[in-house]
Chains A and B, each alone.
Chain A
Amino acid sequence: MTEQTPRDAGNWAAKVDRLEVSVEHSAAGYNVSGRRVTGPQQGFGRLWQRRYATTVGEGVTPKALIADWKQNFGKYWPKGATFHAALTGLEPGAVAPIGINAAPGMQLATGVLVLYADDESFSFMTPEGHMFAGMITFAAAEVDGATEASITILVRPNDPLYELGWPIMRRREDTFWIATMRNLAAGHGAPGANVSHHTECVDRKRLWSNWRNVRHNAGISSVLHMVTSLFRRRGGH
């Protein structure tokens, strides 16, 4: 076993049992605080690997692209979703609540842990209750003399309800990440960039032993939170 410090040591989040949300984002992080992260083996549904890629051009190096992507991550998202980045940015171990417009007037609150970050990639891991259990990696590399940005997703729907909703979620994910990639490319001088995407079912087996994940479902708790906050507001008047 090597005694030397591995060169990836600073790229990984420190081990945590339960996620903690910073005070500045505590209101948005009610579905994240105290939750555990979920890897693909903690999810319920079929395991999917998805990849989106686009050529950003020659005007930006992979390292410069990743530095900008980390710094302005939420700004490249399409409208209807909010990413609450920590002031320290997307450093390994940072916890970022996110809000997604799931239906008119209803925002689904969840979040991510920054699992890994280096000069050419960064990865998130999802908490209990998130639509997906797994990892998502954002990377940049030089391909044929140009910089290619990519998003690789390895996830299972987190519980039976999300698994039922997979056909809809899959289309929404496509719309969301393709728009994100187009915004990223446009931000680096490549408007209207073509985004390729590929989806593969890695495991058709559902992990029935994890069906109880539904108790953490962020969609359900977001609705409950919305209703109770309505009563709290009325009670305050």
Chain B
Amino acid sequence: MNEPVVTMDVRQVAPDVAIIDITGEVTAACEGALTKAHENAATPNTRRVVLNFTGLNYMNSGGIGMIVTLLVRANRQHQQLAAYGLSPHYRQIFELTRLDEAIAIHDDEASALAGSAS
């Protein structure tokens, strides 16, 4: 499998909220990087994990599959999964695959942190 062309940085913005900044390509090849980022983001107190897709520049169907498995892991740990920074193109893919019904999509970081629907 090819090396992932992606970086995932974790920011702990509140005791119960973490942001994963995703930059680059989201494909099945970055499963390890996403799993590790989620492990770093998830403390016993974490109730909300926010995915920042502002730096996303490529995604294939393997990437969507990976986000589904991340969603399952987050739900298992009683965490809400949210996202922001999706371009209209990627927002449409979330809508097409109906991921937007399970992951709250926000316009920006402030609304994602507030948890209000955009």
Residues of A within 8 A of B (CB): 1-2, 5-9, 11-16, 36-42, 47, 49, 115-116, 118, 121, 123, 125, 135, 137, 139, 141, 152, 154, 202-203, 205
Q: Is the CB of A125 within 8 A of B60?
A: no
Q: In the assembled complex, how far is the CB of residue B29 from the closest CB belonging to chain A, in whole angstroms?
A: 10
Chain A residue contacts of B64, Cβ below 8 A: 135
Sampled A-B contacts (12; CB under 8 Å): A5-B89, A8-B60, A13-B96, A39-B68, A115-B97, A116-B60, A135-B61, A135-B65, A135-B97, A152-B65, A154-B69, A205-B75
Most chain B CB within 10 A, of A5, A8, A42, is at A8
Interface residues of B in 41-82 (CB under 8 A from A): 54, 56-62, 64-65, 68-69, 71-72, 75-76
Q: Is the CB of A9 within 8 A of B89?
A: yes
Other A-B pairs, 10, CB within 8 Å; known A37-B97, A152-B65 = A2-B56, A5-B89, A6-B57, A12-B92, A12-B96, A42-B98, A42-B101, A49-B65, A121-B60, A123-B61
Please pick, from A13, A14, A121, the residue contacting B62 in the complex, using a CB distance under 8 A.
A121
Please pick, from A5, A16, A47, A118, the residue contacting B72 in the complex, using a CB distance under 8 A.
A47
Q: Is the CB of A41 within 8 A of B58?
A: no
Q: Is the CB of A118 within 8 A of B60?
A: yes
Q: How far is the CA of A42 from the CA of B60 in the complex (A)?
A: 20
Q: Is the CB of A6 within 8 A of B58?
A: yes
- CB closest chain-B residue, reference A113: B96
B5 within 8 A of A: no
Chain A residue contacts of B93, Cβ below 8 A: 12
Q: How far is the CA of A205 from the CA of B71 in the complex (A)?
A: 13
Q: How far is the CA of A76 from the CA of B80 in the complex (A)?
A: 42
Given A12-B96, A37-B98, A41-B98, residue A2 in contact with residue B65 (CB < 8 A): no
Q: In the assembled complex, how far is the CB of residue B68 from the closest CB belonging to chain A, in whole angstroms?
A: 5
Q: Is the CB of A41 within 8 A of B71?
A: yes
Please pick, from B62, B92, B95, B102, the residue contacting A41 in the complex, using a CB distance under 8 A.
B102
Q: How far is the CA of A203 from the CA of B65 in the complex (A)?
A: 13
Q: Is the CB of A37 within 8 A of B69?
A: no
Q: In the assembled complex, how far is the CB of residue A211 from the closest CB belonging to chain B, in whole angstroms?
A: 17
Q: In the assembled complex, how far is the CB of residue B77 from the closest CB belonging to chain A, in whole angstroms?
A: 12
